[in-house]
Structures are given as C-alpha cells and as structure tokens.
Amino acid sequence: MSVTGLRRVAVTGLGPVTPIGTGAAAFAEAQRAGRSGISTITHFDPSDVASKIAGQVDDDLSAFVDPREARKLDRYVQLALAAAELAVRDSGLTGEELRGERTGAVIGSGIGGVKTFEDQAGVLHSRGPGRISPMFIPMMIANMATGHVAMRYGATGPSSTVVTACATGTGSVGDAARYIQLGLADVMLAGGTEAAVTPIAVGGFANMKALSTRNDAPQEASRPFSASRDGFVLGEGAGVVVLEEYEKAKARGATIYAEIVGYGTSADAHHITLPAPEGRGAQVAMRMALATAGVNPEQVGYVNAHGTSTHFNDLHETQGIKHVFGAHAHELAVSSTKSMTGHLLGAAGAVEAIAVAQALHDGILPPTINLTDPDPLLDLDYIPEGAREQQVEYVLSNSFAFGGQNAALLFRRA
C-alpha cells in the first residue's frame, strides 16, 4: 500500500512508436541526441495546405501487424498494435500472464480513424451512401485501438477509451493506473495513438492557424518556449506502457522504470481552444496530481511540459507552473519533448509518459531543442543546452487539450 491507501503502480514496459524512433532504445537515444523527427510531409501532397511539415513514422509496421490484417485497420490502430507489442515484449510478460480479466486496456485517440473517414467521405460524395465500405465504422471509430489490443492479448479486464484531444495519452495512462490502484486490475496496457497526417486533418488544424508554417526549416519548426515559435507541428505515432501492480511486478523481478503516484484532471471551462489565463485549469490538474500522491511541489525535480510551441500554450503553461510551484519553479527543470517529436495529439501524453519513465530510470532529462531565442516572458529552465544527466525523484507530466481539458501525471523514481 502507498501512503494514500491505494495499491502502487509500476511502469514495467515501454512501447514508443514515434517520429524520432520506434522501440524504447531508439526513442531514448534520439532524445539524448536531441534529434528532430520533423520533415516535409510525404503521406500526401501538401502543396495546398499552409503547413507542409509533420512528424511521420517511417518505420515498417509489418513486423507487428500482418499486412493482410492491416488492410482492415486504420493506421491509428496499426500504430497502437505496434506500440502495445513493443511494450509487452519490453515488460517480459508472457501471453499466459496477460490473458484474462486481471488485465485491461485503455488506449485512447484524439480523433480515431480520420484517414478512413476521409476516404469514405470521398466514396459518399462520388458514389453515394450505398457504396460505403462495411468496414468503415469498425475501422474509423475511436475505441478500436483499445478493442484490438484487448483482442490480441485476451485482456478481458477493465476497458475504456479516453478521447480528450491532446490530453488523451495522459488521461489514458492515468485512468489505467487508477484501475490498478483500486484493485480492479493487476496489469493495464495504457496509452494513446494518432494517425492524423492526412489532408483533412492538416487542413483543419492549419486553417485554425494552430500549425507552424516554418516549411523551409522543418527540423527547427517545433520550438517550444522560443520567441519565434509560430504554432505546433503535427506528429503521428503511438505510445503504450505496461502498468502493473507494484508488488507483483517486484515479485516477478520485472524492470520497474518508474512508479505512477499521482494523477489529476480538470477543465478550464473557458474556451474551445484558448487556454485559461495564467493556466488556471492546468493548475488544478497539476495540484490534483500532487495532492493525490501527498507530494509537495518542492519534491518535484522535472516537469515534462505540454510545451506545444504555440504562443498561448507555452505562455499560460509557464504561468501555471509558476503558480503551482512558486519560487521552486525556478529550481525545476522543464522541457518539451514535442520539440523533437512534434505534437502527437492523442498519443502525445503516452509518448511523454515513456520519456518520463526513461528520464527517471536512466537519470537523463530530455532537452527542449531549438530554444535558441528564448521568449523573455518565459524564464524557466527549459533544458535548452541538450539532454542533461540529472537524477530526480519526482516528475510531473502535463497535457492540455482543445475543449479545455487538462491532465497531469506524477511519477516517482523506482
């Protein structure tokens, strides 16, 4: 039992599928090197959209998803299946150990199968509703990553799907951790997935003026906390972690990367896309994450920021951190791994949970790259110089979403 009277939650498997690397080792190495995964879009011809850059996953997924099976799966599900398989392999859990009602899955997506939606909308307009594929609905709906992951591993325990836009990954891991804390499951496959580098999604985000248009320098376009930041860079990918009840994980000799000790969620109740001034809603989520663990702000050594590289997020998140941490805000390290991966929307928080678990386990904090021209209003230690060797005890990971939904997870060194 923890100090809160809840069961403890260990992170024992890491499955990142990202623009900077697939698999835990490649992902960690790319963060240490401070590598950008952003390039000119190749998934479609981006000539007619304002933002022509994105973080794409170029790795072959056929090792994880049979090409025949893949025909009936939207890319967002394929990415999730790859991430889940990587996480399971990394955990060392066997198929027999995973099967049954003590294992559950919460794999969220911000949007779901938007490419499938786009393709079938084309069929609708050109040939009418009578020619819509019977696979359209089961390929498109946003709960199918959870469904397919549960089917693959025979995980018949707790099952749900978080759809909180850019806070999805963090909410998924947080909700899954809760099931273990409350004793409703012993193992959870948790994470997020997104495959929205498609014309309709890029067009939509671009016309909101949310995306960077630094098309001539893709690798410098995601530049959180810099004075010249001009929007986020869309990314695709998935992140899945294996969560286990701590004592059981310890007993089987699992590698415990980190422990999840706190989780908070909140709503700005303010605006569909703009964050509340001073990060008011974000503050509620951060304080809740700390309070649920009985941890003081001064104990936190690193914050993995939402850090999208938009004007408003980075401003209000920084203000929110200052309100929650007070003077300690200037002692903390804060960084945005989105500077390297781009913004993976519903997968972002899950991929960042993996980055945090690696930071705690390896004693290396990931950098904010491209921070060559700091915004004078943003004066925290954003780790601009490159990955930093530093062992911290507690890490907070933030995610904030359109719709004003916020989520924060608190991790402890194992």
Question: Active-site residues: which are they?
Answer: 166, 306, 343
Shortest CB 115 distance to another protein, Å: 18
Q: Determine the Cα–Cα distance for residues 70 and 73; give it in Å rounded to an integer.
A: 5
Site string for another protein, 56-75 (x = CB under 8 A): ------------xx-xx---
Among 39, 133, 255, 273, binds another protein (CB under 8 A): 133
Would you say 196 and 235 are in contact if contact means Cβ atoms under 8 Å apart? no
3 alpha carbon, distance to own chain's centre: 28
Q: Which is nearer to another protein, 5 or 130 (CB)?
A: 130
Number of residues that bind another protein (CB under 8 A): 9
Report the DSSP beta bridge partners of residue 9: 245, 260
320's enclosing H/E stretch is helix 311-325
Angle at 190 between CA 244 and CA 392, to 5 degrees: 65
Q: Determine the Cα–Cα distance for residues 349 and 306; give it in Å rounded to an integer.
A: 8
Interface with another protein includes 151 (CB under 8 A)? no
Q: Which residue has the tokens 């790859």?
A: 82
Shortest CB 58 distance to another protein, Å: 24
Among 138, 147, 199, 204, binds another protein (CB under 8 A): 138
Point out which span in 26-34, 128-136, 141-149, 305-313 binds another protein (CB under 8 A). Answer: 128-136
Q: Which is nearer to another protein, 72 or 252 (CB)?
A: 72
Q: Determine the Cα–Cα distance for residues 258 and 252; give it in Å rounded to an integer.
A: 16
Site string for another protein, 80-119 (x = CB under 8 A): ----------------------------------------
Q: Which residue has the tokens 């850090």?
A: 307
Q: Which is nearer to another protein, 33 or 135 (CB)?
A: 135
Q: Which is nearer to another protein, 134 or 253 (CB)?
A: 134
- Alpha carbons within 13 A on the beta-carbon side of 221: 27
Helices and strands (H and E) in the chain: how many? 14, 15
Kind of pairing between the strands at 21-22 and 9-18: antiparallel
Point out which span in 96-104, 133-141, 265-273, 387-395 binds another protein (CB under 8 A). Answer: 133-141
Shortest CB 67 distance to another protein, Å: 8
Using CB under 8 A as the criterion, which residues of the chain lie in contact with another protein when the complex forms?
A: 68-69, 71-72, 131, 133-135, 138
